Each structure stands twice: as structure tokens, then as C-alpha cells.
Amino acid sequence: MRIKVKTSGLDSLQRRLRTMEAGARRLHGRHEVRLSELLHPGFMRRHTQFGTLEEMLDESEWTVESAEDFEAIPDGPWDTYVRQTTRFHSWREMQESAGREWMMQKAKTELGL
């Protein structure tokens, strides 16, 4: 014995899946993100003793007025400062965490989650 079943709403589901697929394509690959976007105030408040990246830099022993000034900070002392003022063990770990959070937020937006 066979029973006929009528389904509805699949068109809507297919549109949603196509939208998610397009979003996934936009997420794929490498992304260049400004440091200020990665280390936004929300991230800084949750993970550091500062409200902004600028505050973190201002409170440090280095004078940072340009990207070149920031890049000139020695890695070892900067990692020590990061370890002392954040929940991270290194600058790299802090950036990676911020990158993961950025990616998750971007995925929620792009995939409509």
C-alpha cells in the first residue's frame, strides 16, 4: 500500500540553502581584516583589561603613532605585555582568537544563522 504525501515549504528551504551556499563561497579563502576590526572594543573588553586597542597601546611603554611604530616593537617584550594585560599567552594567540571570533560572526551574518 502506498500513501501520497504532499510536502510544502521546500521552495523556501531550497532558497535558504542557495543563500547559505553563496555565503559559504564568500567566506572561503583568505581575508584581509583591519586590526581595529579584529580587536574591536567588545573583544578588548572581554579579553583584556582595556576597552580599546588604542588604550592598550597608550598604556604600554611604547609610543605608537603609526603602523611602522607598532611593527618596530620587539616581539618578546610585546608578548610579555600581552601576557600581563590580557588572557592570552602571546600576541599571536590574541590575534588568532580575534580571527576565530571574527570568522564566526562573519559566518553567522553570511549564512544567516
pLDDT tens digits, one per residue of 19-29: 656 665 655 56
Q: Residue 102 domain-assigned?
A: yes
The pLDDT of residue 53:
96
Q: Tell me the average pLDDT of the chain.
A: 85
Least confident segment among 4-8, 18-22, 53-57:
18-22
Domain containing 58: what range? 41-113
Name the domain count of the chain. Answer: 1
Any domain includes 3: no
Please list, residue by residue across 50-66, b when 16 or more beta carbons sit within 10 angstroms of its beta carbon and e when fewer do. Answer: bebbeebbeebeeebee
Check residue 109 and give its pLDDT.
77
Sequence letter at residue 91: W
Confidence grade of residue 113 (pLDDT, cut at 50, 70, 90): low
Q: Flag whether 12 is in a domain.
A: no
> Is 15 contained in some domain?
no
Q: How far apart are the first and last CA of the chain?
A: 41
Classify 48 as helix, strand or coil.
strand
- Residue 113's contacts (CB-CB under 8 Å, 6 or more residues apart) are 107
User: With 0-12 CB in 10 A as exposed, 13-18 as middle and 19+ as buried, what is 94?
Assistant: buried
Lowest-confidence region among 47-51, 72-76, 100-104: 100-104
pLDDT at 48: 97
